[in-house]
């Protein structure tokens, strides 16, 4: 991370790249597991409200995964009448949410998300080390 680039800027650039790489992605965001927004690339929606809803989705999905003996939560995909909401864990303390239309290429999203999550986790870790972002307990 250069002095000119904050972790938020680097993560936002990663989210824009995801929108460019996966057909049908309308936007995405990264939030902490307790609902605080880290970075977003979601046009036309209130990101702080979405961050809180995503944290709730994460909490419920984690409980469902554990209660059914499926191990640690990794992802959930919800399909509505107008498209998709995909939620992916980034470790234990953060989450990425992806909003897509009916035409979203879900297979390509799954292909891209693993590397994206690793890069975002790295940016967040670097920010914590440089004390320019979240506190260590937030990761």
Summarize pLDDT for 76-125 with one digit per residue, the tens.
Answer: 999 999 999 999 999 888 999 999 999 999 999 999 999 999 999 999 88
- Contacts for 93 with CB less than 8 Å, ≥ 6 apart: 32, 33, 138, 139
Contact 103, 79 (CB under 8 A): no
> Looking at residue 93, what is its pLDDT?
86
What does the domain layout of the chain look like in residue ranges? 7-129
pLDDT at 1: 47
Residue-level length of the chain: 139
Spatial separation of the C-alpha atoms in residues 88 and 113, rounded to whole Å:
8
User: 7-129 has which CATH code?
Assistant: 3.30.450.30
Residue of 123, 128, 68, 64 lying closest to 90 (CA atoms): 123
pTM for the model stands at 0.86
The pLDDT tens digits of the residues spanning 6-58 come to 888 999 999 999 999 999 999 999 999 999 999 999 988 899 999 999 999 99
């Amino acid at each position: 991370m250069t002095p000119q680039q904050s972790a938020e800027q680097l993560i936002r650039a990663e989210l824009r790249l995801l929108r460019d790489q996966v057909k049908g992605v309308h936007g995405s965001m990264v939030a902490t597991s307790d609902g605080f927004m880290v970075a977003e690339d979601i046009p036309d929606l209130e990101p702080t409200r979405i961050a809180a809803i995503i944290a709730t989705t994460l909490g419920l999905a984690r409980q469902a995964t554990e209660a059914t003996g499926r191990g640690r939560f990794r992802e959930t995909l919800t399909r509505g009448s107008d498209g998709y909401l995909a939620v992916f864990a980034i470790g234990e303390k953060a989450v990425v949410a992806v909003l897509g239309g009916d035409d979203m290429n879900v297979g390509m999203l799954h292909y891209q998300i693993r590397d994206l999550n690793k890069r975002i986790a790295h940016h967040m870790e670097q920010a914590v080390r440089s004390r320019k972002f979240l506190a260590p307990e937030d990761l």
